[in-house]
Amino acid sequence: MTHIRLTLVDELATLILAHPPQNRIGSQMVDELAAALDEIERSEARAVLVCAEGPDFSFGGDIVRWPQMTNRELRTSFETYMVTFNHFERLPIPTIVAVQGLCFGGGLELAVRADVIFAGETARFGHPEQSIGIVTLLGGVYRVAERAGRSRAIEWAFTSEQVPATVMRDRGVVNRVVADADLMAQAKAFARKVANGPTRAHAAHKALMRIWATGGIAAADEAIMDIAMPLFETDDVKMALQTSVDAFLEAKPRPAFSFKGR
């Protein structure tokens, strides 16, 4: 792979956009991302951290070939991109993105598919699609709306403005803004923390959030028992629940648990 690098250390998978300086998202990067996601699915990874080489996370789509492509060719490409990005979004393990510099277009559409977004304090986000007369082709505008609300999302889409990381945090799109120099260390520390957590419970929470996003609270209430009850059969819950009861009966603090993801 030349546009994506994948490492797996201590059950944390790290996906690196490795086509600086702009990390433009084209067919090669998406093909390599698809292969990397398949490898993650086959691995023992319990969390994924996405980051990028260079000063910027991503300028978005690699538009150079678009004028020469037919509408049918463009649609086929974009549908492939959508499938791959959705594969990332639906991984049954926590996903964290660390954003530095500029995060535009397809880069933003990838970032908002993560569970948690860390951003450097000077990072900026935006939808440049409006500036060339198109829309956010991979579902960015409504995924931002899910986090920030319709009115703010449509304003950003209309204007293609560059939105500071602190504004994105205050509007609920970004989880944490940290000093640029601390970005990778803090994002990696968080990723390692959740990788060591109850992986099956993390997957269940992600499933419930997907159901809520499409069907609302009533749909999630209908599904929750089918998703939640199998957790009581996992090794992690059997260990943690009994140990917690024992600690309670002995009037001791609940210990920290070493979850195995099983």
How many Å apart are CA 42 and CA 149, to the nearest integer? 36
pLDDT of residue 188: 97
Per-residue pLDDT of the chain (262 residues; tens, 9 = 90+): 799 999 999 999 999 999 999 999 999 999 999 999 999 999 999 999 999 999 999 999 999 999 999 999 999 999 999 999 999 999 999 999 999 999 999 999 999 999 999 999 999 999 999 888 999 999 999 999 999 999 999 999 999 999 999 999 999 999 999 999 999 999 999 999 999 999 999 999 999 999 999 999 999 999 999 999 999 999 999 999 899 998 999 988 988 888 998 8
**Of the candidates 8, 112, 103, 97, the residue with the CA atom closest to the CA atom of residue 50:** 97
What is this structure's pTM?
0.94
pLDDT score of 200: 95
What is the rounded (10 degree) CA torsion for 184, 186, 189, 195?
A: -80
Cβ contact 125:168 at 8 Å? yes
CA 189 to chain centre: 16
Place of tokens 């648990």: 257
| pLDDT of 100 | 98
Quote the pLDDT of residue 77. 94
Tell me the two tokens of residue 157. 């889409």
Selection from 159, 51, 153, 57 nearest residue 108 by Cα: 57
Reference 12, options 47, 61, 38; nearest CA is: 47
* pLDDT at site 109: 97
pLDDT averaged over every residue in the chain: 95
